[in-house]
Amino acid sequence: MKIGIVFGGKSFEHEISIVSAIAMKKVLKAELVYIFCDYNRDFYLIPTDKINSKRFSSGEYKKDKKLTLKNGGFFQKSMMSEKRVEFDVALNISHGADGEDGKIASLLDFFEIPFIGPRNEASTISCNKLFTKIYAREFGVKTLDYKTLEKSSSRDIELKYPVIIKPTRLGSSIGISIVKSKEELDYALDVAFEFDTQVLIEPFIKGIKEYNLAGCKTNEYKFSIVEEPQKDEFLDFDKKYLDFSRTKRVNEADLSSVMVEKMRDTFKKLYEPSFAGSLIRCDFFVLDDEVYINEINSVPGSMANYLFDDFDKIISDLTNFLPIATIVPAQYKYINSIQAAKGK
């Protein structure tokens, strides 16, 4: 099997996507084809044997073959013709905007390219923390209480401190701050509003337990181990950044089988049917033996490979259970019948 790794994009998480893409060489046995989307949203075919982080930071990638998107795939031009880049399935590993907000998913769907990753609907839900909470509550999944604040709104708000401030449409803990008093609020909001026009404000519960569970559905649900990420007050960008280059399985959290089953049941409520065709990681809080969803990572760092015993098989199996597009026949019977009725 040949997998096309689609990565990059115009995003604050662009560099993280590059790190994740490079990590795939160590964990996937299939032949990999690297398709890079730069900040200008131009696509390039990156030689698999030459891919490294410096190739992108130096701009050397611009010497690689430029690609265009057409129905059926990515194409490279030659002197007299064009040739399709051959792969069996694409793997969307673009973090943040473009990759997780639905833009790349829409392109791949529109041009009928089979791919592993969130579809447009799932992307819309998971890339927006407010939408995630609304979606979760609709399916009976608990979330922490929250408030939202717009950049243009008054900051004269009554809060019970401490709180955590998060940009609504950003991942990897970018722009997140813990606010312990009213005096710290303005600075934290200034930081968050550098990345988004809306923020989410949640109570900060010191010492709350956080756990990660990844999985997907093929003929049945395939789950990873549950990890308890190591953190200080919260899992910040620096610690998360290490996740994107991890390729070795991490240790399993010390949890009862009952709690693990609760997390799996919660995962199932969130996954189907919106996230079909994707491997996602759910970040949960556990408070008083109840499971709360924190975030749905629809394109997790390094695809959460480090949580699985056999990540390669999970991806291989998932390629056989991708959503099937509805076949729309080309026909104009309604127009023809209308014209016939008018005598035209």
The DSSP annotation for 159-226 comes to --SSEEEEETT--TTTT-EEE-SGGGHHHHHHHHHTT-SEEEEEE--TT-EEEEEEEEESSSEEEEEE
In degrees to the nearest 10, what's the CA dihedral of 227, 176, 164, 179?
130
Identify the residue whose tokens are 């709350």.
208
Per residue of the chain (344 residues), what is the pLDDT tens digit? 999 999 999 998 899 999 999 999 999 999 999 999 999 999 999 999 999 999 999 999 999 999 999 999 999 987 778 999 999 999 999 998 899 999 999 999 999 999 999 999 999 999 999 999 999 999 999 999 999 999 988 888 888 899 999 998 876 577 889 999 989 999 999 999 988 899 999 999 988 999 999 999 999 999 999 999 876 555 454 554 455 556 666 789 999 999 999 999 999 999 998 999 999 999 999 999 999 999 999 999 999 999 999 999 999 999 999 998 888 888 888 887 776 666 65
pLDDT at 246: 65
pLDDT at 116: 98
Domains of the chain: 2-116 (3.40.50.20), 125-142+208-318 (3.30.470.20), 147-203 (3.30.1490.20)
pLDDT at 169: 83
Query: What is the pTM for the complete model shown?
Result: 0.88
Please work out, in degrees rounded to the nearest 5, the angle formed at the alpha carbon of residue 206 by the alpha carbons of 205 and 208: 70
Q: How far apart are CA 189 and CA 205, in angstroms?
A: 19
Beta bridge partners of 198: 150
